[in-house]
Structure 1
Amino acid sequence: MAKFVAIFIFALIAISMLQTMVMAAHGQGGHHNDQKHYGPGSLKSFQCPSQCTRRCSKTQYHKPCMFFCQKCCKKCLCVPPGFYGNKQVCPCYNNWKTKEGGPKCP
């Protein structure tokens, strides 16, 4: 019986260690909603609406800002930090231009 308990405890420890290594490999260290990482491909497409809501929250042109921000986010998978500027963090977002050569992404 003592052997069974020892093997059972060992198995639980091994499973726990394996789970920790898998979570670390996938970047899930317990900070699921902590968005301190910016840059190309730092977002999933389902995160675009909330990040664009943040980005466009202080503009008087909310609807066009949201439209273009979401379009840019879905293509680049990145939204710069802050409400304005900081586009150098997301090169794709920064370099996408209109036909006239102006910035496409807010």
Structure 2
Amino acid sequence: MASTSKFLLLLIISIFLISLSQVSSSSSSEAGIEAQAHQPQRKVLRVFCVNYADCGSLCAVRCGKHSRPNVCTRACGTCCQRCNCVPPGTHGNREQCGSCYTDMLTHGNRPKCP
């Protein structure tokens, strides 16, 4: 009888310890999820790899704030057709489209793509 009660006591303690460890592991994973939720979101720049039909609308956005929007849109359209890419935003981010977009030059050796 004494050995049976000792066995039951050990069984109850082991079950208690196992359940305690499962609760502790789930709370630590929840704490990790909460820590990730409070981290600031990073801005992700997107590259627009486009079809020929999309060049006009994407270049209109790209050149919307340019001082000479018609010239910018024409140059952007040429670059879009050749490289199948228009960088995000209205200025900068040219490196997002790769060497095709960044290395294209005008006859005056100036960067062609806006």
Out of 25, 30, 47, the position equivalent to 1:38 is 47
1:42-61 equivalent positions in 2, closer than 5 A: 42-61=49-68
Query: Is 1:63 aligned to 2:50, yes or no?
Result: no
Equivalent residue for 1:94?
102
Q: Distance in 1 between matches of 2:61 and 2:91?
A: 10
SS of the equivalent of 2:66 reads coil
Coordinate RMSD, CA, aligned: 1.4
Q: Distance in 1 between matches of 2:84 and 2:112?
A: 15
Is the helix fraction higher in 1 or 2? 2
Equivalent residue for 1:82?
89
TM value normalised by structure 2: 0.56
Query: Is 1:103 aligned to 2:98, yes or no?
Result: no
Moved >2 Å (runs of 4+)? none
Aligned residue pairs total 69
TM value normalised by structure 1: 0.60
- Partner AA of 1:98 in structure 2: T
Q: Distance in 2 between matches of 1:37 and 1:43?
A: 12
Contact 2:95 2:102 in 1 (8 A): yes
How big is the shift at 1:37? 4.3
- Partner AA of 2:96 in structure 1: V
Give the unaligned 5+ runs of structure 2: 1-44
Q: Distance in 2 between matches of 1:64 and 1:37?
A: 24
Identity %: 38
Contact 2:104 2:111 in 1 (8 A): yes
